[in-house]
A and B are shown apart, each in its own frame.
Chain A
Amino acid sequence: MSERPVPGMQALAQLRSDFDRGFAVAPRSSEAHEFVIQIRVAGEVFAIRTCDIAGLVRSRKIVPVPSRTKELLGVTALRGTLIPVYDLAALLGIPPGTGGLSWLVLAPGDTPIALAFDRFEGQQIPEWLSERSERRHVRQLVRTGSTIRAVLDVRGLAETIREGAGIKEPAKEKEQ
């Protein structure tokens, strides 16, 4: 007679096996590492390429500042730097949702900019779709699981914000 397998123990064995296999197989190509993070902005689902952002952090205390820019929520402190925080839903022209803005995504650049959104739904290697979206600040579409998401152009958004604020970024080499 054999003992019945315990589900928790099976998961542990599977976890251990997957962990070991990660060291056993060869690393995948760079395209294979094109990750996106899945977010939800005022109820709508979007995706952001990890290469388009400088970081993902939980929302901290946002101190409102007077501004003519209505999308500017305020400033927050991150790693000793004051960073302006913008409402991503307002930037995308989406009516504000009911939930709080719990997450910040950091736009790359010398002048850091944080974009606040509702929910972070994980990181995944998506299926890139050939269709294009006519929506502003959207590059293309991907499928994560059964959900089709618009991939936000964070760099473009940051560029737009900087242009609006009159900030000029030094020229950098093009992204791959």
Chain B
Amino acid sequence: MIRAWTFQRKVTAGFAVMVGLAALIAGIAVYALHTVVASRDNLLAVNARNLTDAQRLMADSNEYVAAFRGFLLLTDDRFLDQRRKAAAAIEETFRNLDQSVYTPEGHRLLNDIRIAQTEFAAVQERVIVLRKSGNGSSAAVQAVEEQEGVPKRENLVAAISAFVEREQKLLDEARRNSSAQASLASTLLICLAVAMVLFAATTAILLGRSLSKQIGGTVQHVQSSSAELQTSANQQASGAKETATAMNEITTTVSELLATSRQIAESAQQVAHIAEETLKAAQVGDQAVVQSQAAIEGIRRQVDTIVSHMLNLGKKSQQIGGVLDIINELAEQTNILSINATIEAAGAGEQGKRFAVVGEEIRKLADRVSGSTKESRALVEEIRAAVNTTILATETGSKAVDTGLLRFEELTRGFKEIAGMVATATQAAREIGLSTKQQMTAVEQVNTAISSAAQVTRETEASSVQTLQTATQLAQLSHNLSRLVQPRAAA
């Protein structure tokens, strides 16, 4: 996880650890100093003051004894005042000691001093009373003094000396404790300082290695990336150059497109003009078609009349055929009669020859009539066939005229549709013209934009060259940095 930390985080963490250790050491040092100072303060405030009070108690006791002895010697009340002051001082010191002594042994010794002082004071009071009363001789006073006062005073001195020794002992013991605490704090601080130095050194080495390794890897990445960037910049430079060339070609093409758009706009105007003329021609054609339709209607009526006449002619020719049939039949019967007359004439012998001649002539005449009838029939048949053909052709023509009428109606509709379409085409041509003009404007804008783009491309080409140079410099820089970070790897 630490490997993923950033440099700042690692350095900050290292310094934080150092600062923490320093703070710990400072805290410990403050604590040790505070302990030592407290110990010294305790030493000075309690033990030393107790010792001083004990010595003061000794001095006050001596002054108390001296005042008593002075009174004994001089019987002067001033010594009693001094003795009372010394007793008050002793009492004051007792109160101070009673408050400051904190050990049972101390309180016991202090109580022994108080008892000894009380007993000694009681002996002195009896001596003082004796001395003041005057009843007692000096020897008696001295005896009381020597028998009772001296032991009591020695007890008191011994008690005070014991207390002083006790306080001296406590002071020495406190001094030794304080020195031991100071020494312990000093040793602890030294150990912590050594530990901190070792930890700082280790941290510095590890951090240095880690940062060196990480920076080295990063620098190598930067080096490879700068190499790739150099390659890419090279390709980008060549691509930008090709793009610049392509943009020049596009500029040329767009210029040609602009010229073409202008030609298209002119052509669209011409087309619109032609469409308008076509519309007029279509309208004229529509009128002509209507007139032609009326003419075809007349033709159809004429054709109907022709068909009627031809049918009548067919009927007449059929009647002629009937007449020809009659004539033919007559001719045939005449022929048969003439043949029979010939036969009869042949049977009549010489008398029938003339009759035979007449019969022959009649037969010939009948033959000719029959032949003429056949020819006439053929002609009539031809006429009938022609009439039938004509009727069929006329009917076909009539149907064709009807079909033509239908076609003309379709043609009329077609012309109207053409007129409509031509109108639409005219409108479309106008719109095409407008659109082409707009397109031309757009192409001009595109031309301008492409010129700007070409300029940008040239600048991009220059920028690519600059990028290439920068990438080269970056590669050199990364190589130098790698050499600085990892000389072996860089070598």
Contacts and interface: CB of A to CB of B under 8 A. Distances in A.
B353 A30 contact: yes
Interface in A1-28: 11, 15, 18-19, 22-23, 27
Interface residues of B, number: 23
A58 B363 CA distance: 16
A123 B342 contact: yes
A147 B353 CA distance: 28
A50 B342 contact: yes
A15 B372 contact: yes
A162 B96 CA distance: 216
B347 to A, nearest CB: 7
Contact of A22 (B343, B364, B372, B375): B364
A55 interface: yes
Nearest to A55: B340
A122 B349 CA distance: 23
Interface in B321-378: 335-336, 339-340, 342-344, 346-347, 349, 353-354, 356-357, 360-361, 363-365, 367-368, 372, 375
Contacts of A19: 361, 365
A18 B364 contact: yes
A58 B329 CA distance: 12
Contacts of B340: 55-57
Residue picked from A33, A53, A176, most chain B C-beta under 10 Å: A33
A63 interface: no
A48 to B, nearest CB: 10
A123 B339 contact: yes
A11 B275 CA distance: 70
A89 B354 CA distance: 35
A18 B343 contact: no
Contacts of A27: 353-354, 357
Given A27-B353, A33-B360, A123-B339, A50 B346 contact: yes
A122 B367 contact: yes
Nearest to A125: B360
B364 A35 contact: no
Contacts of B349: 176
Contacts of B347: 51, 54, 108
Contacts of B344: 55
A37 interface: yes
A84 B165 CA distance: 213
Nearest to A26: B357
A123 B357 CA distance: 14
Interface residues of A, number: 23
Contacts of B335: 122-123
A56 B372 contact: no
A54 B365 CA distance: 22
Interface of B is mostly: helix
A123 B363 contact: yes
Given A27-B357, A50-B346, A108-B347, A18 B339 contact: no
Interface in B184-214: none
Contacts of B375: 11
A51 B346 contact: yes
Contacts of B343: 50-51, 53-56
A37 B339 contact: yes
Contacts of B360: 33, 35
Contacts of B363: 123
Contact of B336 (A30, A50, A58): A58
Contacts of A51: 343, 346-347
A16 B173 CA distance: 202
A22 B361 contact: yes
Residue picked from B335, B339, B349, B353, most chain A C-beta under 10 Å: B339
A15 B372 CA distance: 10
A56 B336 contact: yes
Interface string A160-176: 00000000000000001
B376 to A, nearest CB: 8
Contacts of B346: 33, 50-51
A108 B346 CA distance: 12
A58 B337 CA distance: 11
Nearest to B356: A33
A18 B362 CA distance: 12
Contacts of A53: 343
Interface string A39-68: 000000000001101111110000000000
Nearest to A37: B339
A33 to B, nearest CB: 6
Interface in A78-114: 108
B429 to A, nearest CB: 66
A33 B343 CA distance: 11
A29 to B, nearest CB: 10
A158 to B, nearest CB: 14
Contacts of B365: 15, 19
A50 B347 CA distance: 9
A57 B336 contact: yes
Contact of B368 (A18, A30, A56, A57): A18
A56 B339 contact: yes
Contacts of A54: 343, 347
Given A18-B368, A19-B361, A123-B339, 11 more contacts: A33-B346, A35-B360, A50-B343, A50-B346, A54-B343, A55-B344, A56-B343, A108-B347, A122-B367, A123-B342, A176-B349
Nearest first, the 6 A-B pairs at minimum CB distance are: A51-B346, A22-B361, A27-B357, A55-B340, A50-B343, A56-B339
Interface of B: 335-336, 339-340, 342-344, 346-347, 349, 353-354, 356-357, 360-361, 363-365, 367-368, 372, 375
Interface of A: 11, 15, 18-19, 22-23, 27, 30, 33, 35, 37, 50-51, 53-58, 108, 122-123, 176
16 contacts: A18-B368, A22-B364, A30-B353, A33-B342, A33-B356, A35-B342, A37-B339, A50-B343, A50-B346, A51-B347, A54-B347, A55-B340, A55-B344, A56-B336, A57-B336, A122-B335
